[in-house]
Structure 1
Protein backbone atom coordinates (compact mmCIF):
# COMPACT_ATOMS: atom_id res chain seq x y z
CA UNK A 1 0.00 0.00 0.00
CA UNK A 2 1.33 3.40 -0.94
CA UNK A 3 0.61 5.00 2.44
CA UNK A 4 1.74 3.95 5.88
CA UNK A 5 -0.74 2.79 8.53
CA UNK A 6 0.26 3.65 12.09
CA UNK A 7 -1.19 2.58 15.46
CA UNK A 8 -3.94 5.21 15.17
CA UNK A 9 -5.48 3.16 12.37
CA UNK A 10 -5.67 -0.15 14.24
CA UNK A 11 -9.28 0.48 15.24
CA UNK A 12 -10.23 1.29 11.66
CA UNK A 13 -8.47 -1.82 10.36
CA UNK A 14 -10.22 -4.12 12.82
CA UNK A 15 -13.54 -2.51 11.93
CA UNK A 16 -12.79 -2.96 8.23
CA UNK A 17 -11.95 -6.62 8.89
CA UNK A 18 -15.36 -7.15 10.51
CA UNK A 19 -17.22 -5.50 7.61
CA UNK A 20 -15.22 -7.54 5.09
CA UNK A 21 -16.14 -10.75 6.86
CA UNK A 22 -19.78 -9.99 7.56
CA UNK A 23 -20.65 -7.89 4.51
CA UNK A 24 -22.81 -5.44 6.47
CA UNK A 25 -22.03 -2.32 8.51
CA UNK A 26 -24.87 -3.16 10.89
CA UNK A 27 -23.60 -6.70 11.48
CA UNK A 28 -20.08 -5.41 12.11
CA UNK A 29 -21.45 -2.79 14.50
CA UNK A 30 -23.25 -5.49 16.51
CA UNK A 31 -20.10 -7.61 16.77
CA UNK A 32 -17.91 -4.66 17.74
CA UNK A 33 -20.41 -3.17 20.17
CA UNK A 34 -20.60 0.21 18.40
CA UNK A 35 -23.22 1.94 16.27
CA UNK A 36 -23.52 2.09 12.49
CA UNK A 37 -22.18 5.63 12.25
CA UNK A 38 -19.02 4.66 14.15
CA UNK A 39 -18.36 1.87 11.68
CA UNK A 40 -18.94 4.27 8.79
CA UNK A 41 -16.62 6.86 10.32
CA UNK A 42 -13.84 4.32 10.88
CA UNK A 43 -14.08 3.01 7.32
CA UNK A 44 -13.94 6.58 6.00
CA UNK A 45 -10.84 7.21 8.11
CA UNK A 46 -9.17 4.10 6.74
CA UNK A 47 -10.01 5.08 3.16
CA UNK A 48 -8.54 8.51 3.74
CA UNK A 49 -5.37 6.92 5.14
CA UNK A 50 -4.86 4.53 2.22
CA UNK A 51 -5.99 6.98 -0.44
CA UNK A 52 -8.94 5.16 -1.97
CA UNK A 53 -12.00 2.97 -1.54
CA UNK A 54 -11.54 -0.29 0.37
CA UNK A 55 -15.16 -1.43 0.09
CA UNK A 56 -17.73 -1.44 -2.67
CA UNK A 57 -21.47 -2.03 -2.34
CA UNK A 58 -22.95 -5.06 -4.16
CA UNK A 59 -26.44 -6.60 -4.08
CA UNK A 60 -25.19 -9.16 -1.53
CA UNK A 61 -23.48 -6.61 0.73
CA UNK A 62 -20.15 -4.82 1.00
CA UNK A 63 -17.21 -6.46 -0.77
CA UNK A 64 -13.54 -5.61 -0.78
CA UNK A 65 -11.93 -3.63 -3.62
CA UNK A 66 -8.46 -4.33 -5.03
CA UNK A 67 -7.02 -1.70 -2.69
CA UNK A 68 -9.10 -3.18 0.11
CA UNK A 69 -7.55 -6.61 -0.49
CA UNK A 70 -4.19 -5.11 0.33
CA UNK A 71 -5.57 -3.46 3.46
CA UNK A 72 -7.23 -6.77 4.35
CA UNK A 73 -3.89 -8.52 4.27
CA UNK A 74 -2.48 -5.94 6.68
CA UNK A 75 -5.51 -6.29 8.96
CA UNK A 76 -5.26 -10.08 9.01
CA UNK A 77 -1.53 -9.91 9.75
CA UNK A 78 -2.24 -7.59 12.67
CA UNK A 79 -4.97 -9.87 13.96
CA UNK A 80 -2.66 -12.87 13.81
CA UNK A 81 0.10 -10.97 15.55
CA UNK A 82 -2.24 -9.83 18.31
CA UNK A 83 -3.74 -13.23 18.99
CA UNK A 84 -0.71 -15.39 18.30
CA UNK A 85 -3.07 -18.09 17.09
CA UNK A 86 -1.55 -19.04 13.78
CA UNK A 87 1.59 -20.73 14.99
CA UNK A 88 1.79 -24.49 14.48
CA UNK A 89 3.65 -26.42 17.14
CA UNK A 90 6.58 -28.65 16.25
CA UNK A 91 4.47 -31.58 17.41
CA UNK A 92 2.24 -31.08 14.38
CA UNK A 93 -0.66 -29.64 16.36
CA UNK A 94 -2.72 -27.18 14.32
CA UNK A 95 -3.61 -23.81 15.76
CA UNK A 96 -5.22 -20.62 14.59
CA UNK A 97 -8.66 -19.74 13.28
CA UNK A 98 -10.19 -21.09 10.08
CA UNK A 99 -13.13 -19.08 8.75
CA UNK A 100 -15.53 -20.81 6.39
CA UNK A 101 -18.51 -19.36 4.54
CA UNK A 102 -20.93 -22.26 4.20
CA UNK A 103 -24.61 -22.90 3.32
CA UNK A 104 -26.91 -23.85 6.22
CA UNK A 105 -27.59 -27.41 5.08
CA UNK A 106 -23.95 -28.26 4.43
CA UNK A 107 -22.91 -26.63 7.70
CA UNK A 108 -25.35 -28.64 9.79
CA UNK A 109 -24.92 -32.03 8.13
CA UNK A 110 -21.28 -32.05 7.04
CA UNK A 111 -19.10 -29.10 8.05
CA UNK A 112 -19.97 -28.86 11.74
CA UNK A 113 -19.37 -32.57 12.53
CA UNK A 114 -16.20 -32.53 10.41
CA UNK A 115 -14.81 -29.46 12.18
CA UNK A 116 -15.75 -30.86 15.60
CA UNK A 117 -13.75 -34.01 14.82
CA UNK A 118 -10.82 -31.89 13.62
CA UNK A 119 -10.89 -29.83 16.81
CA UNK A 120 -10.80 -32.97 18.94
CA UNK A 121 -7.46 -33.77 17.30
CA UNK A 122 -6.26 -30.16 17.47
CA UNK A 123 -7.69 -28.41 20.56
CA UNK A 124 -5.97 -25.11 19.77
CA UNK A 125 -7.75 -24.80 16.43
CA UNK A 126 -10.73 -22.43 16.28
CA UNK A 127 -13.35 -22.61 13.52
CA UNK A 128 -15.84 -19.93 12.49
CA UNK A 129 -18.72 -21.04 10.24
CA UNK A 130 -20.48 -18.13 8.55
CA UNK A 131 -23.85 -19.03 7.08
CA UNK A 132 -24.17 -18.07 3.41
CA UNK A 133 -25.94 -19.57 0.40
CA UNK A 134 -24.47 -17.60 -2.47
CA UNK A 135 -22.08 -17.70 -5.37
CA UNK A 136 -18.36 -17.77 -4.75
CA UNK A 137 -17.20 -14.17 -4.50
CA UNK A 138 -14.27 -13.06 -6.60
CA UNK A 139 -12.81 -11.20 -3.62
CA UNK A 140 -13.50 -13.97 -1.07
CA UNK A 141 -12.82 -11.34 1.57
CA UNK A 142 -12.77 -12.23 5.23
CA UNK A 143 -12.96 -16.02 4.89
CA UNK A 144 -10.36 -18.69 4.27
CA UNK A 145 -12.77 -21.06 2.55
CA UNK A 146 -16.18 -20.88 0.92
CA UNK A 147 -18.49 -23.81 0.33
CA UNK A 148 -20.77 -23.02 -2.60
CA UNK A 149 -23.46 -24.73 -4.65
CA UNK A 150 -22.49 -25.16 -8.29
CA UNK A 151 -19.10 -25.20 -9.97
CA UNK A 152 -17.50 -21.80 -9.30
CA UNK A 153 -15.59 -19.72 -11.81
CA UNK A 154 -13.06 -17.78 -9.77
CA UNK A 155 -9.57 -16.35 -10.12
CA UNK A 156 -6.56 -16.81 -7.86
CA UNK A 157 -8.31 -19.57 -5.98
CA UNK A 158 -8.57 -23.34 -5.92
CA UNK A 159 -11.97 -25.03 -6.24
CA UNK A 160 -12.54 -28.66 -5.21
CA UNK A 161 -15.75 -30.62 -5.68
CA UNK A 162 -17.04 -32.10 -2.43
CA UNK A 163 -20.40 -33.74 -3.09
CA UNK A 164 -23.18 -34.29 -5.60
CA UNK A 165 -26.63 -34.49 -4.03
CA UNK A 166 -30.21 -34.27 -5.28
CA UNK A 167 -33.14 -32.02 -4.58
CA UNK A 168 -36.41 -33.89 -4.43
CA UNK A 169 -40.10 -33.23 -3.89
CA UNK A 170 -41.34 -33.98 -0.37
CA UNK A 171 -44.58 -33.65 1.56
CA UNK A 172 -45.76 -34.57 5.05
CA UNK A 173 -48.00 -37.56 5.59
CA UNK A 174 -50.62 -35.23 7.03
CA UNK A 175 -50.50 -33.03 3.94
CA UNK A 176 -50.94 -36.00 1.62
CA UNK A 177 -53.87 -37.28 3.67
CA UNK A 178 -55.58 -33.89 3.34
CA UNK A 179 -54.66 -33.01 -0.25
CA UNK A 180 -53.93 -36.31 -1.97
CA UNK A 181 -50.67 -37.52 -3.46
CA UNK A 182 -49.78 -36.21 -6.95
CA UNK A 183 -49.39 -39.00 -9.49
CA UNK A 184 -47.41 -36.98 -12.01
CA UNK A 185 -45.71 -33.61 -12.40
CA UNK A 186 -48.84 -32.13 -14.02
CA UNK A 187 -50.76 -32.73 -10.77
CA UNK A 188 -48.48 -30.29 -8.94
CA UNK A 189 -50.34 -27.24 -10.27
CA UNK A 190 -52.88 -27.55 -7.46
CA UNK A 191 -50.24 -27.71 -4.72
CA UNK A 192 -48.23 -24.97 -3.02
CA UNK A 193 -44.44 -25.02 -3.24
CA UNK A 194 -42.06 -24.35 -0.34
CA UNK A 195 -38.69 -23.18 -1.65
CA UNK A 196 -36.35 -20.19 -1.85
CA UNK A 197 -37.45 -16.57 -2.22
CA UNK A 198 -37.11 -16.10 -5.97
CA UNK A 199 -35.80 -12.55 -5.82
CA UNK A 200 -33.08 -13.54 -3.34
CA UNK A 201 -31.86 -16.64 -5.19
CA UNK A 202 -28.65 -16.04 -7.15
CA UNK A 203 -27.38 -19.60 -7.57
CA UNK A 204 -28.07 -21.13 -10.97
CA UNK A 205 -28.12 -24.75 -9.78
CA UNK A 206 -30.79 -23.93 -7.20
CA UNK A 207 -32.69 -21.48 -9.38
CA UNK A 208 -33.08 -24.05 -12.16
CA UNK A 209 -34.59 -26.62 -9.78
CA UNK A 210 -38.10 -25.41 -10.62
CA UNK A 211 -37.71 -25.47 -14.41
CA UNK A 212 -39.01 -29.05 -14.75
CA UNK A 213 -42.09 -28.27 -12.66
CA UNK A 214 -45.38 -26.77 -13.80
CA UNK A 215 -46.32 -23.35 -12.39
CA UNK A 216 -47.14 -23.79 -8.69
CA UNK A 217 -48.50 -21.27 -6.19
CA UNK A 218 -45.92 -20.49 -3.52
CA UNK A 219 -46.40 -21.72 0.00
CA UNK A 220 -43.76 -20.49 2.43
CA UNK A 221 -40.58 -19.22 0.81
CA UNK A 222 -37.40 -18.54 2.72
CA UNK A 223 -33.69 -17.97 2.32
CA UNK A 224 -33.08 -20.87 4.73
CA UNK A 225 -33.32 -24.54 3.77
CA UNK A 226 -34.35 -25.35 7.32
CA UNK A 227 -37.41 -23.17 6.89
CA UNK A 228 -38.23 -25.15 3.73
CA UNK A 229 -38.11 -28.34 5.77
CA UNK A 230 -40.10 -26.85 8.66
CA UNK A 231 -42.76 -25.49 6.29
CA UNK A 232 -43.09 -28.84 4.56
CA UNK A 233 -43.34 -30.72 7.87
CA UNK A 234 -46.02 -28.22 8.94
CA UNK A 235 -48.05 -29.14 5.82
CA UNK A 236 -47.68 -25.72 4.17
CA UNK A 237 -47.22 -27.42 0.81
CA UNK A 238 -44.74 -29.54 -1.12
CA UNK A 239 -41.07 -28.74 -0.57
CA UNK A 240 -38.05 -28.96 -2.83
CA UNK A 241 -35.57 -30.32 -0.32
CA UNK A 242 -32.03 -31.78 -0.33
CA UNK A 243 -32.26 -35.55 -0.06
CA UNK A 244 -29.50 -35.89 2.53
CA UNK A 245 -31.63 -33.91 5.00
CA UNK A 246 -35.21 -34.72 3.99
CA UNK A 247 -34.64 -38.49 3.90
CA UNK A 248 -33.86 -38.31 7.64
CA UNK A 249 -37.34 -36.94 8.43
CA UNK A 250 -39.68 -39.83 9.22
CA UNK A 251 -42.84 -37.78 8.61
CA UNK A 252 -41.80 -36.66 5.11
CA UNK A 253 -42.54 -38.67 1.98
CA UNK A 254 -40.51 -38.45 -1.23
CA UNK A 255 -42.82 -37.72 -4.17
CA UNK A 256 -42.38 -38.74 -7.80
CA UNK A 257 -38.75 -39.86 -7.43
CA UNK A 258 -38.84 -41.35 -10.92
CA UNK A 259 -40.04 -38.06 -12.42
CA UNK A 260 -38.07 -35.47 -10.49
CA UNK A 261 -34.55 -35.42 -9.03
CA UNK A 262 -32.51 -32.26 -9.52
CA UNK A 263 -28.75 -32.76 -9.15
CA UNK A 264 -26.61 -30.13 -7.43
CA UNK A 265 -23.01 -30.02 -6.28
CA UNK A 266 -21.09 -28.58 -3.35
CA UNK A 267 -17.64 -27.14 -3.99
CA UNK A 268 -15.08 -25.71 -1.59
CA UNK A 269 -13.13 -22.65 -2.75
CA UNK A 270 -9.97 -21.40 -1.10
CA UNK A 271 -7.76 -18.42 -1.74
CA UNK A 272 -4.29 -19.45 -2.88
CA UNK A 273 -2.68 -17.66 0.05
CA UNK A 274 -5.12 -19.20 2.53
CA UNK A 275 -4.34 -22.71 1.32
CA UNK A 276 -0.73 -22.25 2.38
CA UNK A 277 -2.02 -22.47 5.96
CA UNK A 278 -1.88 -26.10 7.24
CA UNK A 279 -5.03 -25.54 9.30
CA UNK A 280 -6.99 -24.47 6.22
CA UNK A 281 -5.75 -27.48 4.27
CA UNK A 282 -6.79 -29.73 7.16
CA UNK A 283 -10.28 -28.20 7.11
CA UNK A 284 -10.61 -28.93 3.37
CA UNK A 285 -9.48 -32.51 3.94
CA UNK A 286 -11.91 -32.96 6.83
CA UNK A 287 -14.87 -31.79 4.75
CA UNK A 288 -13.73 -34.03 1.92
CA UNK A 289 -13.67 -37.03 4.26
CA UNK A 290 -17.11 -36.12 5.61
CA UNK A 291 -18.64 -36.13 2.14
CA UNK A 292 -16.77 -39.14 0.74
Structure 2
Protein backbone atom coordinates (compact mmCIF):
# COMPACT_ATOMS: atom_id res chain seq x y z
CA UNK A 1 0.00 0.00 0.00
CA UNK A 2 1.54 3.35 -0.97
CA UNK A 3 2.31 5.88 1.73
CA UNK A 4 -0.23 8.70 1.89
CA UNK A 5 1.09 12.20 1.63
CA UNK A 6 -0.25 14.66 4.16
CA UNK A 7 -2.50 17.36 2.73
CA UNK A 8 -0.06 20.23 2.66
CA UNK A 9 -0.97 23.39 0.81
CA UNK A 10 1.79 25.87 0.03
CA UNK A 11 1.08 28.75 -2.37
CA UNK A 12 -1.56 26.70 -4.13
CA UNK A 13 0.43 23.46 -4.20
CA UNK A 14 -0.96 20.45 -2.44
CA UNK A 15 1.30 17.70 -1.15
CA UNK A 16 -0.40 15.17 -3.41
CA UNK A 17 0.12 17.26 -6.54
CA UNK A 18 3.77 17.83 -5.78
CA UNK A 19 4.23 14.13 -4.99
CA UNK A 20 2.60 13.25 -8.33
CA UNK A 21 4.74 15.82 -10.15
CA UNK A 22 7.92 14.41 -8.57
CA UNK A 23 7.04 10.87 -9.58
CA UNK A 24 6.23 11.85 -13.18
CA UNK A 25 9.40 13.96 -13.41
CA UNK A 26 11.53 11.09 -12.12
CA UNK A 27 10.01 8.39 -14.31
CA UNK A 28 9.13 10.46 -17.36
CA UNK A 29 5.77 8.69 -17.52
CA UNK A 30 2.18 9.47 -16.63
CA UNK A 31 2.05 5.75 -15.85
CA UNK A 32 3.91 6.65 -12.66
CA UNK A 33 0.40 6.48 -11.28
CA UNK A 34 0.82 2.75 -10.74
CA UNK A 35 3.68 3.38 -8.28
CA UNK A 36 1.51 5.94 -6.48
CA UNK A 37 -1.52 3.67 -6.29
CA UNK A 38 -3.75 5.97 -8.38
CA UNK A 39 -4.94 5.74 -11.97
CA UNK A 40 -3.22 7.58 -14.82
CA UNK A 41 -6.23 9.82 -15.52
CA UNK A 42 -5.96 11.21 -11.99
CA UNK A 43 -2.24 11.84 -12.52
CA UNK A 44 -3.02 13.77 -15.71
CA UNK A 45 -5.71 15.85 -13.99
CA UNK A 46 -3.48 16.65 -11.01
CA UNK A 47 -0.60 17.72 -13.27
CA UNK A 48 -2.94 19.95 -15.27
CA UNK A 49 -4.28 21.49 -12.05
CA UNK A 50 -0.73 22.11 -10.80
CA UNK A 51 0.17 23.77 -14.10
CA UNK A 52 -2.88 26.04 -13.81
CA UNK A 53 -1.95 26.98 -10.26
CA UNK A 54 1.63 27.69 -11.30
CA UNK A 55 0.40 29.47 -14.46
CA UNK A 56 2.99 27.70 -16.57
CA UNK A 57 3.47 24.46 -18.49
CA UNK A 58 5.56 22.02 -16.43
CA UNK A 59 5.49 18.88 -18.57
CA UNK A 60 5.49 18.23 -22.32
CA UNK A 61 3.39 15.15 -22.87
CA UNK A 62 4.30 12.89 -25.79
CA UNK A 63 3.47 9.44 -27.09
CA UNK A 64 6.66 7.97 -25.60
CA UNK A 65 6.55 9.77 -22.27
CA UNK A 66 6.93 13.16 -20.64
CA UNK A 67 9.73 15.68 -20.55
CA UNK A 68 10.06 18.65 -18.26
CA UNK A 69 9.90 22.21 -19.50
CA UNK A 70 12.27 24.84 -18.06
CA UNK A 71 9.60 25.71 -15.51
CA UNK A 72 9.21 22.01 -14.73
CA UNK A 73 12.95 21.65 -14.17
CA UNK A 74 12.93 24.66 -11.83
CA UNK A 75 9.99 23.23 -9.91
CA UNK A 76 11.71 19.83 -9.73
CA UNK A 77 14.76 21.37 -8.05
CA UNK A 78 12.60 23.17 -5.51
CA UNK A 79 10.25 20.23 -4.93
CA UNK A 80 13.17 17.85 -4.32
CA UNK A 81 14.69 20.28 -1.83
CA UNK A 82 11.34 20.56 -0.01
CA UNK A 83 10.93 16.78 -0.07
CA UNK A 84 14.40 16.33 1.46
CA UNK A 85 13.71 18.90 4.18
CA UNK A 86 10.41 17.21 5.01
CA UNK A 87 12.14 13.83 5.30
CA UNK A 88 14.84 15.27 7.56
CA UNK A 89 12.24 17.06 9.66
CA UNK A 90 10.09 13.96 10.04
CA UNK A 91 13.10 11.91 11.12
CA UNK A 92 14.03 14.48 13.74
CA UNK A 93 10.47 14.81 14.95
CA UNK A 94 9.82 11.12 15.46
CA UNK A 95 13.09 10.06 16.99
CA UNK A 96 13.03 10.16 20.77
CA UNK A 97 15.91 7.72 20.98
CA UNK A 98 19.05 8.73 22.78
CA UNK A 99 22.07 7.04 21.27
CA UNK A 100 25.82 7.26 21.50
CA UNK A 101 28.50 6.75 24.11
CA UNK A 102 28.90 8.68 27.35
CA UNK A 103 32.05 8.37 29.43
CA UNK A 104 31.83 9.39 33.06
CA UNK A 105 34.92 9.60 35.26
CA UNK A 106 34.49 9.87 39.02
CA UNK A 107 36.37 8.94 42.19
CA UNK A 108 35.67 5.39 43.43
CA UNK A 109 33.42 6.38 46.29
CA UNK A 110 31.11 8.56 44.22
CA UNK A 111 31.24 6.21 41.23
CA UNK A 112 30.46 3.02 43.20
CA UNK A 113 28.01 4.32 45.75
CA UNK A 114 26.10 6.97 43.86
CA UNK A 115 26.71 7.23 40.11
CA UNK A 116 26.56 3.50 39.30
CA UNK A 117 22.93 3.29 40.41
CA UNK A 118 21.95 6.53 38.69
CA UNK A 119 23.67 5.60 35.43
CA UNK A 120 22.06 2.13 35.48
CA UNK A 121 18.64 3.81 35.69
CA UNK A 122 19.57 6.10 32.79
CA UNK A 123 20.72 3.10 30.72
CA UNK A 124 17.42 1.31 31.41
CA UNK A 125 15.46 4.28 30.02
CA UNK A 126 17.75 4.65 26.98
CA UNK A 127 18.88 1.16 25.89
CA UNK A 128 20.78 2.49 22.85
CA UNK A 129 22.97 4.65 25.06
CA UNK A 130 26.36 3.18 26.01
CA UNK A 131 27.54 4.42 29.39
CA UNK A 132 31.10 3.90 30.58
CA UNK A 133 31.92 4.65 34.21
CA UNK A 134 35.62 4.82 35.07
CA UNK A 135 37.26 5.30 38.41
CA UNK A 136 39.53 8.29 38.73
CA UNK A 137 42.18 8.69 41.41
CA UNK A 138 41.30 11.02 44.23
CA UNK A 139 43.56 14.02 44.10
CA UNK A 140 44.15 15.66 47.40
CA UNK A 141 43.44 19.35 47.33
CA UNK A 142 45.47 19.84 50.51
CA UNK A 143 49.09 20.31 49.64
CA UNK A 144 51.70 19.69 52.22
CA UNK A 145 53.20 22.98 53.18
CA UNK A 146 56.76 23.36 54.37
CA UNK A 147 57.00 24.93 57.76
CA UNK A 148 58.32 28.45 57.67
CA UNK A 149 59.95 30.23 60.51
CA UNK A 150 59.58 33.85 61.33
CA UNK A 151 62.58 33.71 63.65
CA UNK A 152 65.54 35.84 62.67
CA UNK A 153 68.41 34.08 61.05
CA UNK A 154 71.33 33.29 63.24
CA UNK A 155 74.05 33.97 60.73
CA UNK A 156 77.28 35.22 62.02
CA UNK A 157 78.63 38.44 60.76
CA UNK A 158 82.21 38.62 59.67
CA UNK A 159 84.27 40.83 61.79
CA UNK A 160 85.93 43.38 60.02
TM-score (norm 2): 0.46
Which has more strand, going by share of residues?
A: 1
The structure showing larger relative contact order (alpha-carbon pairs under 8 Å, at least 6 residues apart) is 1
TM-score (norm 1): 0.26
The structure having more radius of gyration, on CA atoms, is: 2
